[in-house]
A and B are shown apart, each in its own frame.
Chain A
């Protein structure tokens, strides 16, 4: 059983370039989350999908950030015109639909983005 996978693992971009980060969630997981983790900090929420619907994008820091999950499985986080402050690790997590039992999230290894 494969876990959550992310690609690329490392990405170096020049300031102003566009980047696309991919997340493959665990098969059958309905919920998918993106988080941003700055060096030495805890992850911060970016956006959330339930199947293909983006239900919460309140954490996206600017309109340069865009996420999609068109078929309710693979998701892509796109950052346009990257800035140095975008340098961080981008984590993807998936979970089964939340029930009264709670919501353990399964995290991928992350994509480390460095903007020069």
Chain B
């Protein structure tokens, strides 16, 4: 199985940039298609799709969210961070089954 590694916690100040990383144990890209996706989950809510295929913003997601990366290293950026962004963020790969998720990064305010 492809293992996705995320740092457990990231603390940032409001108005600053947050950079959340996800590293895969093997490449999750096929040709130029990066099969990594990002979700936001707030307490008591279901996960919400933020970014698909590494860099595509899902419908209704604010432009302060962006994604980048290829191969094994991917990044979710939130700029600027707002209070409403306090949540856990998960990456997920669809390069191969079984599809796997990262362990999540909890975004906290400094």
B partners with A: no
> Which B residues form the contact surface with A (CB < 8 A)?
none
